Structure 1
Amino acid sequence: MKVTVDAPRGSSRHRGLVGEASSLVVAGFDDYNASFSDITRRGRRRFEQGDRSGMRSDVVARLELYDQIVHETISRLEGLLANRLFSRSIWRDMRVVYADLISRKLDAELYKTFFNTITRRLFKTRGVDSAIEFIAFDLQPSDRITHPVAKRTWIVGEHAADTFMRILEEYAFSLPWEHEQRDAARLADRLVAEFGEDELVSMELLETVFYREGRAYLVGRAIGRQRHVPCVIALCRRDNAIAADALLTRRLQLSVLFGFTYSYFLADLPTVADAVVFLRTLLPDKPVDELYSVLGRAKQGKTERYRAFYRHLSERPDEHFEVAEGKRGMVMAVFTLPSYPLVFKLLRDTFAPEKTIKRHQVIERYQLVYRHDRVGRLLDVQEFKSLRFSRDRFDQALLEELLEECSRVVYLEGDDLVIRHCYVERRVRPLDLYLSEVEEGAARQAMIDMGQALKDLARSNIFAGDLLPKNFGVTRSGRVVFYDYDELTLLSDCRFRKMPKARDDIDIYSDETWFHVADNDIFPEEFRRFMALKRENLEVLEDVHGELFEAGWWQGIQERIASGEALDVPPYGEEARLS
């Protein structure tokens, strides 16, 4: 290892090391951005080839890329700084020089997050350290953005179909359009109908095409004389041709598409902040952190989530964390700040006796969800380490529960509670509570969507495991999602069976199972017993999704997945489809 003499702060040697190390960190993030873009650009080819598994692999590769580049950058810094790698004076001065180097970059906030990641790993920071980190809780990362995102604009004449023909021609792919004129006419009819008596004047679409889970999206807005509406054209590949599959013009449809229950887009944006600014004009209520995440910038999304939450927390000094509503978790302790839509999930030291799963297996399942196609039915989860909160912010009962039952990941340090490790996700209404609160019609719709959620997950090769309503939730958009992952598993790892018929009365009245059951054996006929649903709710599920209680249906899905078929789960409803 190279050994350097500790140079006094202010000496030319010190300044040289600071400048060189700061440039090295900038170069590290530039390398990350270049590699990120290389992977993202594959989205177009994957779409044209109908390669959904390849598209998923690219999303996972990008997730792993950040930590890989951070590790490489730290190794280079170690080679440069040697025994001064952990010198706080070096990093304090690097923070100043680094800020100047990135001051003119449009995505400066992303560079700052990269710097923070490195310092937190080197110094094992608990909470925040403003001397060697970039901290700006009062700043929105898009506040300084005046540079408009690259987009294309079309003036709509008397015949809107002609405009859509031009749009489809400008976004040509290597494959031909299946029926260009038909799709243009359908798109025009749908959009003109959306505007009604208002006149459609122009359209704006981002130059960048968005790809995810086998589809491509042209994202923008349509502008009338009195109002503008979102305009997202969903494209799919059919029989070696490209077709327009749907038109999304409602804010709710867009909120779901860009929501926290889907995997991240492959969108080769030259810069990200300007795209976030544009998307917020379409979705003004969508948190900035979720937009960064869904665009593939998961680390920045995590930073913005923390920043927004801390800002909110500081504005409500008298509000306390409390146990989240819902049944007590057997594996996780869950708490929330009532005024903010997040929950914090901490692994208990010991699980309930009926839970045979091990600690490392729970962590593996959360990692699986993070990397898997979530198809709109699994909540995105962010892993946080070394969070620090004042102990006075916790309800006394919650504080005692955390210290007594989560002592492996929680401890007191002075007046603060430090959380070594937790998962953070959006708060949704537990389905069991929701069903007890709403009228019959809403309860019926929730049960129908719960069944659809199980089918969507199955088609993405996921079996939820524990089907109790307490493990499902209802989002603000009314969609049913699954959020308890400790028994979640790949569908392909399950063995779905019919219940064997009893041979005689001894079998019927036996207190124990009289046939062999392996750990991965699942009997759909028994779901009725274990769902703990009221009769009227169970009847809805049986009437609309009766096949869920048949082993043959699950086996059929397994066979299709095993054959290599990519089962389609559209991120929009039938009302948006053009055909």
Structure 2
Amino acid sequence: MTCPDAIFFRNSTARRMSKTILNGFRSYFADYLNMTLGAKARFEKADWQAVQRANVERLELYKAKVRQVSELLATVTNKDITDLELWRQAKAVYTQLVFNFPNYEIAETFFNSVFGYINDHDKIDDDLIYVLSSQMASIPEAEYSIYVRYENNSDIAALIEQILLDAEFSTPWENLSRDVQAIAQEFNEQVAPHISSPLGELKFDILESVFYRSKAAYIIGRIVDGDRFFPIVLPVLNNEKGGLFVDTAILNREEMSVVFSFTRTYFMVDAPLPYLYLHFLKQLMPHKGDNEIYASIGFPKHAKTEFYREFVSHMRNSQDQFVIAPGIKGMVMSVFTLPSYDIVFKIIKDKFDPPKEVTHEIVRSKYTLVSRHDRIGRMADTQEFANFSFPLSRFSSELMEELQKVAPSLLHIEGDRLIIKHLYTERRMTPLNLFLHKASEEDTRGVMEEYGNAIKQLAAANIFPGDMLLKNFGVTRHKRVVFYDYDEICPLTDCNFRRIPEPQNEEQEMSLRPWYTVAANDVFPEEFRLFFSGNPGARKAFEEMHGDIYDVEFWWGLQEQIRNGKIVDVFPYRRRRRFDRNR
């Protein structure tokens, strides 16, 4: 039995540990918000290179603070900070410290991250970390503080103008009255026919914080019609000549959902009360999981926490088994899924099938590159997990046989649990090659246009997919084409695009193998036609719209633009939705 003095000492140690972690969290969150607040100035100055740097620095900040706090813990006590009983007590103290904290959920995840840095990730226990939150989320009476309400105004143009002016951009508007009239027209066409209240009784709730991402600023809010909500999203762009303009008006959930897509990087938004922003956005996009929205508003680590909670809940409320994911098996990754769950799980094989020559470290570095890069709506977001625990009984025999064959080093069976030591999760999509098997002529043409756009936009953002086979691209529910196989990606500027040399004699012409030297970074665009073998209809549609992709000059031109510092314009809405600025 432990003596009272020892109990007091251990509690005192736990309290110092908890306070150290909480102080570290406060320091992280203050720096995080300051980095985020700088987004307005970067946008107004059109400093797009600084925008990209800030995105990476904000992601790295979390890791740096967790590492710093973890190392500091060893200096606040002479006790063994891997002692699980000590962490059990520290969590109890920390729970008291963050009670009624405005951002307690992010603080809890920070605690988890520090624990994970010091201890093995397989020690997932709610007594030690926050597998479940310590508090029930609720909406305080002060919810109004995150938005401004506009009401009692039957002049839609005047109301919109006030909303734009209240954003308080330092850069002047290019043509405010033109943009106001364009937005008012969209409102009258898209929303007015569907509202039940007179215009003067509508309420417009606009979030105080502007959302910044890439080269755009987004004014976001909701239109309240009784107990119904309509979204209002106004993307603002900088003409880089000292003027701002509204590019379009998004007034429906489908289009808003694409703006908050899992294929785009995280917004810079001043959200000191993250849960309130989650609640506000969930009212407009109820089909999105909490993890998706937390990721969108810039909290990817907490998004992982929410993902795991949603996963555990889904497992309790489903009975189907994990199976091998549909599609052609990859040479580097083994992919499985749960039919009732729209997520795929990807693990790196122990050995790669020829001709793959990458290593585990290289593959992981590729996924890290994607997590730090502007995904421009064309690369799926991934979440990386260590020691992910599954109920063993939920794995089909075929899947278990496959995993034990290709990646036995990553598997550990502990009782009735299967622990996979390292994996990635990703949104499930329909592989493009499978989609084409059943696609109509119209859908085939649509996704081929999307496929070419994806390749071009990735390239313009300095990403070369490497292997552009149809099976490595997916089709979303919005019929957008997204790249999701990252083991061969590289910066476009690292590629050496070449023409295939003309054969000099009959022997060279008849050779089944290249008779010319080929370096590791050589790329021959003429060979891209091979990606359509077996699907002449898709190939014909693609070549009509994107035949320039076979041309080496196309790639040289993009490389030159990137080296000259050009940042690509990519919009989370169809180009035809953009306002005509010449009207």
Settle same-fold status: TM greater than 0.5. yes
> Are positions 1:520 and 2:516 aligned together?
no
What is the deviation of 1:144?
A: 5.9
Q: What residue number does 2:247 align with?
A: 245
Task: Measure, in 2, the Cα distance between the counterparts of 1:173 and 1:130.
Answer: 45
Q: What SS does structure 1 have at the residue aligned with 2:234?
A: strand
Amino acid paired to 1:212: R
Conservation of the 8 A alpha-carbon contact between 1:156 and 1:163: no
Q: What residue number does 1:128 align with?
A: 124
Task: Measure, in 2, the Cα distance between the counterparts of 1:546 and 1:156.
Answer: 54
What is the deviation of 1:516?
A: 2.2
> Are positions 1:82 and 2:78 aligned together?
yes
Conservation of the 8 A alpha-carbon contact between 1:469 and 1:533: no
Amino acid paired to 2:58: R
Q: Deviations over 1:258-282 (max 9, x none)?
A: 1100001111112101000000011
> How do residues 414-429 of structure 1 correspond to structure 2 at under 5 angstroms?
414-429=415-430
Moved more, 335-344 or 104-113: 104-113
Task: Measure, in 2, the Cα distance between the counterparts of 1:514 and 1:482.
Answer: 32
Q: What SS does structure 1 have at the residue aligned with 2:122?
A: coil
Amino acid paired to 2:552: A
Q: What residue number does 1:357 align with?
A: 358
Conservation of the 8 A alpha-carbon contact between 2:147 and 2:206: yes
Q: 1:543 to 1:140 in 2, by over 3 A?
A: farther
What is the deviation of 1:353?
A: 1.2
Q: What SS does structure 1 have at the residue aligned with 2:77?
A: helix
Conservation of the 8 A alpha-carbon contact between 1:434 and 1:474: yes
> Are positions 1:193 and 2:189 aligned together?
yes
> Are positions 1:277 and 2:259 aligned together?
no
Conservation of the 8 A alpha-carbon contact between 1:29 and 1:111: yes
Amino acid paired to 1:404: K
Q: 1:7 to 1:210 in 2, by over 3 A?
A: farther
Q: What residue number does 1:58 align with?
A: 54
Q: What residue number does 1:45 align with?
A: 41
Task: Measure, in 2, the Cα distance between the counterparts of 1:401 and 1:513.
Answer: 35
What is the deviation of 1:511?
A: 2.6
Root mean square deviation of aligned Cα = 2.0
Q: 1:144 to 1:404 in 2, by over 3 A?
A: farther
Amino acid paired to 2:282: R
Q: TM-score normalised to the size of structure 1?
A: 0.95
Q: Deviations over 1:68-120 (max 9, x none)?
A: 11111112211112223223332222211111111111221211111122223
> Are positions 1:105 and 2:101 aligned together?
yes
Alignment length (residue pairs): 572
Q: Deviations over 1:515-554 (max 9, x none)?
A: 2222111111111123435001100000111111111111
> Are positions 1:212 and 2:216 aligned together?
no
Conservation of the 8 A alpha-carbon contact between 2:470 and 2:531: no
Task: Measure, in 2, the Cα distance between the counterparts of 1:227 and 1:429.
Answer: 33
Q: 1:105 to 1:350 in 2, by over 3 A?
A: same
Task: Measure, in 1, the Cα distance between the counterparts of 2:140 and 2:62.
Answer: 24
Conservation of the 8 A alpha-carbon contact between 1:468 and 1:532: no
Conservation of the 8 A alpha-carbon contact between 2:103 and 2:272: no
What is the deviation of 1:42?
A: 1.3
Q: What residue number does 1:13 align with?
A: 9
Q: What SS does structure 2 have at the residue aligned with 1:545?
A: helix
Q: Deviations over 1:162-217 (max 9, x none)?
A: 11221222112221111111111111111122124345433221000110111100
What is the deviation of 1:225?
A: 6.2
> How do residues 344-493 of structure 1 correspond to structure 2 at under 5 angstroms?
344-493=345-494
What is the deviation of 1:398?
A: 1.1
Percentage identity across paired residues of the two chains? 35
Q: What SS does structure 1 have at the residue aligned with 2:518?
A: coil
> Are positions 1:152 and 2:153 aligned together?
no
Q: What residue number does 1:330 align with?
A: 331
Task: Measure, in 1, the Cα distance between the counterparts of 2:4 and 2:334.
Answer: 49
Amino acid paired to 2:422: H
Amino acid paired to 1:240: G
Amino acid paired to 1:279: L
Amino acid paired to 1:354: P
Task: Measure, in 1, the Cα distance between the counterparts of 2:302 and 2:286.
Answer: 19
Unaligned runs of 5+ in 2: none
Task: Measure, in 2, the Cα distance between the counterparts of 1:191 and 1:57.
Answer: 36
Q: 1:518 to 1:7 in 2, by over 3 A?
A: farther
Q: What SS does structure 2 have at the residue aligned with 1:443?
A: helix
Q: What residue number does 1:173 align with?
A: 169
Conservation of the 8 A alpha-carbon contact between 1:195 and 1:224: no
Q: Deviations over 1:28-85 (max 9, x none)?
A: 1111100101111111111011112211111111111111111111122111122232
What is the deviation of 1:141?
A: 6.8
Q: What residue number does 1:3 align with?
A: none
Structure 1 residue aligned with 2:288, among 283, 286, 289? 286
Structure 2 residue aligned with 1:30, among 5, 26, 32? 26
What is the deviation of 1:407?
A: 1.8
Moved more, 168-177 or 372-381: 168-177
Task: Measure, in 1, the Cα distance between the counterparts of 2:361 and 2:119.
Answer: 26
Task: Measure, in 1, the Cα distance between the counterparts of 2:407 and 2:416.
Answer: 18
What is the deviation of 1:227?
A: 4.5
Q: Deviations over 1:223-257 (max 9, x none)?
A: 34685311011001111111111111121111111
Q: 1:146 to 1:535 in 2, by over 3 A?
A: farther
Q: Deviations over 1:131-150 (max 9, x none)?
A: 2112328x997456664151
Q: TM-score normalised to the size of structure 2?
A: 0.94
Moved more, 549-558 or 279-288: 549-558
Amino acid paired to 2:279: V
Q: What SS does structure 2 have at the residue aligned with 1:375?
A: coil
Amino acid paired to 2:84: R
Amino acid paired to 2:308: Y
Amino acid paired to 2:424: Y
Q: What SS does structure 2 have at the residue aligned with 1:89?
A: helix
What is the deviation of 1:381?
A: 0.6
Task: Measure, in 2, the Cα distance between the counterparts of 1:553 and 1:7.
Answer: 76
Q: What residue number does 1:223 align with?
A: 224
Task: Measure, in 1, the Cα distance between the counterparts of 2:49 and 2:168.
Answer: 23
Conservation of the 8 A alpha-carbon contact between 2:524 and 2:552: yes
Q: What residue number does 1:258 align with?
A: 260
Unaligned runs of 5+ in 1: 1-5
Q: 1:30 to 1:140 in 2, by over 3 A?
A: closer
Task: Measure, in 2, the Cα distance between the counterparts of 1:467 and 1:23.
Answer: 50
Q: Deviations over 1:456-480 (max 9, x none)?
A: 1111111111111111101111111
> Are positions 1:543 and 2:572 aligned together?
no
Q: 1:186 to 1:144 in 2, by over 3 A?
A: closer
Task: Measure, in 1, the Cα distance between the counterparts of 2:31 and 2:72.
Answer: 18
Task: Measure, in 1, the Cα distance between the counterparts of 2:234 and 2:475.
Answer: 27
Task: Measure, in 2, the Cα distance between the counterparts of 1:140 and 1:300.
Answer: 15
Q: What residue number does 1:203 align with?
A: 204
Task: Measure, in 1, the Cα distance between the counterparts of 2:12 and 2:60.
Answer: 32
Q: What SS does structure 1 have at the residue aligned with 2:520?
A: coil
Q: Deviations over 1:536-579 (max 9, x none)?
A: 11000001111111111111111111111112111211243222
Amino acid paired to 2:209: T
Conservation of the 8 A alpha-carbon contact between 1:147 and 1:274: no
Q: What SS does structure 2 have at the residue aligned with 1:260?
A: coil
Task: Measure, in 2, the Cα distance between the counterparts of 1:473 and 1:363.
Answer: 21
Q: Deviations over 1:445-464 (max 9, x none)?
A: 11111111111111111111
Task: Measure, in 1, the Cα distance between the counterparts of 2:4 and 2:41.
Answer: 54
